[in-house]
Structure 1
């Protein structure tokens, strides 16, 4: 991993230059010839960041050095960028690569540089360009084979970080304090009217009723997470996955876009993925087997002390997380036609997931227990 002072990195693709990239790559490839030229092209559909593929030309053979890189910059849209700063999204992703991925083997692209100025929102992450990988597509849904590869990667992330105290102590990662929860609840509740007004014609009445019922329960729901905890991706869905082909790697899926990483209940990632990655009929067919697959993968990687019954219960409890994300994200980032389609699709799938799992019946006993705890402390 390459580290630099806040002032010492390009702020936009236009500021990238061959000498800076050569300096950045040399610690990883000591015999690297000078970078002679570069060419940038926009890539991806992300709304919180501006990603470019950078093709490199060298004065000589680069050996094992990359012929192209992926560089991540802040969003060009002022609203999305302001959101990234307010939620510390750019700072979180930068710190993830600097402090977590650099020390623990995880299914992520190799990182060559990561730095951020949290005051201005300027950041830059330089990653390997995983050529030949097939990016996931939230709107097209996952195949069962892709889902199993994704869940295998998710179990690897959770198992590698399960209850690790050095991660739990990271302030930027473990943000589950009362003030943080209150901010999330306040924003979600404020975002709901605008979401319903914007997308009224695209939403089914039964799904809106789920949102209406959950709205008043959300404050207590946000207090329910309990150990064991692990590294959470926070937005683990097909758009943020790269499916590998013919690649020498211990993983068949790489996970990108770590701007929502946190320390919390691992089953929230699984429920979010399964609830949003499929059309409802496909999800109903695959869900039980995928839950078993995840639990078995955890155990194969040495995780003990969490029963399959606990996994099933938490899977239902955190089915609501997809609703929170769909509503909040829709109102936080630049509005685009694909974004509108995606957020409506996400909301419908996650609301139906809640209904199919009868998740309110799991939520209510937990909330009653939590209310009793509150009263005992008064």
Structure 2
């Protein structure tokens, strides 16, 4: 029998009206965007006018606009002459909801004709009524809003974010445009080609568990996995400490989960839980058919079934109003594939994090549990996770945001284990039948979650809470 999330009659009754409202909003947003494109085409047909910022659906990038943005950001001098703008690579084949493009700008100076270059990434939401509806529901415009906010400008450590040249996000229109530096193309000032000094994807440090290392990456040039885990946790401590239990975050409507903490947004949360239930039932059927080579343990199936079946908005609200649980600004999708180890500086390497589309208010150690399950081989995290978390906790104490008597390490450890599992339960439900997800990937995360549960006392719980989710279309509107 298919499990059904607990919902009230009033919420179920309002769901069709809510979906109709968002659908009408997306239709209006697409009509506005189409009109905007026609006006931009008429007003800026001549590049001498100055060009305009890129919008979702645009196929060209205005050179005059790009030059003005780079000059304003101090990236190029005012007298720079842009010779070429090349847009290649990522567009259309990366990301679940957006399109990404590598942008290479080549320019010269009157006093020096040697060409110089700037490497960037252009990230845009997709155009069209359905993509806009999906973005309105998911709120993914928040990444661009975050980059433009005072939160991002003051966030510590200062090396945490890539340099962002332009960011536009509208949650009403369901769109975003972000132009940022390509962190992977950073180079030492001496332009060293030493492989030990190049930026590296942090998931490669952990072996890129599902896919393995590409031939271009040599394992001997990478730091030890345990050292990398320590550094990630310490970086998170600096970030989390800045807004620990900061109630001002709750007033930022664009932050994911802010509405949930205030007791609103129930319909979209329940839609997402129902989407997880539907995906999990499909995933079990795929595995049972024998055509999808995934083996689920009985323990895992029981935990997934019980957790999804017992999910309820009321229990979720009780959890959010538990004053014993800390909250802070969290990345929300904290895993090594969203991080770069920058080794180009003169000091020690630093961690740069991108893809902030899920930035939210949440329990801090959930970030940490997510990346351990996502990226770190079970033998490594079984031996080292507690040591890494101890360093995280010690750093929080040193920064003065918590007292050891108020937030003992064992409490921090319990939050870390529970939070990591809770973060992954719903995510796994979606991924286990997600189109294009290979069976080996599903098996990997299944095995990782089971191994992580063993960190808890008595091997974990029989049922966990479904808490933070991605906001999905209601099940009846999904393909």
Structure 2-normalised TM-score?
0.65
1:243-254 residue pairs with structure 2 within 5 A?
243-248=341-346, 252-254=350-352
The aligned residue for residue 216 of structure 2 is none
Farther-moved stretch of structure 1 (305-314 vs 195-204): 195-204
SS at match of 1:101: helix
From the CA coordinates, give the structure whose radius of gyration is larger: 2
RMSD: 3.2
The aligned residue for residue 160 of structure 1 is 242
Of 25, 28, 31, the residue aligned with 2:70 is 25
The aligned residue for residue 145 of structure 2 is 95
Residue 348 of structure 1 and its aligned partner are, at CA, apart by 3.8
Residue 263 of structure 1 and its aligned partner are, at CA, apart by 1.0
Mapped partners of 1:321, 1:253: distance in 2: 22
1:274-329 Cα deviation digits (max 9, x unpaired): 22222323221122112112112222333223321221121132121111223246
Residue 261 of structure 1 and its aligned partner are, at CA, apart by 0.8
Residue 22 of structure 1 and its aligned partner are, at CA, apart by 0.8
Residue 260 of structure 1 and its aligned partner are, at CA, apart by 0.7
1:325-364 residue pairs with structure 2 within 5 A?
325-328=427-430, 335-337=435-437, 341-357=440-456, 358-360=459-461
Of 259, 263, 279, the residue aligned with 2:357 is 259
The aligned residue for residue 315 of structure 1 is 416
Residue 236 of structure 1 and its aligned partner are, at CA, apart by 0.5
SS at match of 1:257: coil
Q: Is the 8 A contact 1:316 1:362 kept in 2?
A: no
Q: Give yes or no for the alignment of 1:140 onto 2:208.
A: yes
Residue 67 of structure 1 and its aligned partner are, at CA, apart by 1.4
Farther-moved stretch of structure 1 (24-33 vs 262-271): 24-33
Mapped partners of 1:207, 1:260: distance in 2: 26
Q: Summarize the Cα distance change of 1:111–1:249 in structure 2 as closer, same or farther, 3 Å threshold.
A: farther
Q: Summarize the Cα distance change of 1:242–1:75 in structure 2 as closer, same or farther, 3 Å threshold.
A: farther
Mapped partners of 2:446, 2:269: distance in 1: 18
SS at match of 1:140: coil
1:7-60 Cα deviation digits (max 9, x unpaired): 652125732122111111111217341423211222484323222221101142
SS at match of 1:10: coil
The aligned residue for residue 191 of structure 1 is 276
1:153-209 Cα deviation digits (max 9, x unpaired): 211210122233433321111232434355324422333233342352414123222
Farther-moved stretch of structure 1 (143-152 vs 42-51): 42-51
Residue 117 of structure 1 and its aligned partner are, at CA, apart by 3.2
Q: Summarize the Cα distance change of 1:294–1:265 in structure 2 as closer, same or farther, 3 Å threshold.
A: same
Mapped partners of 2:317, 2:208: distance in 1: 30
Mapped partners of 1:324, 1:163: distance in 2: 25
Of 112, 116, 122, the residue aligned with 2:175 is 122
1:9-20 residue pairs with structure 2 within 5 A?
9-11=53-55, 12=57, 14-20=59-65
Mapped partners of 1:251, 1:162: distance in 2: 26
Mapped partners of 1:343, 1:113: distance in 2: 36
Unaligned regions of 5+ residues in structure 2, if any? 1-32, 37-51, 186-197, 210-223, 466-479
Q: Is the 8 A contact 1:231 1:266 kept in 2?
A: yes
Of 53, 59, 79, the residue aligned with 2:102 is 53
Mapped partners of 1:344, 1:85: distance in 2: 32
Q: Summarize the Cα distance change of 1:355–1:119 in structure 2 as closer, same or farther, 3 Å threshold.
A: same
Mapped partners of 1:147, 1:182: distance in 2: 37
SS at match of 1:14: coil
The aligned residue for residue 162 of structure 2 is 109
Mapped partners of 2:167, 2:376: distance in 1: 33
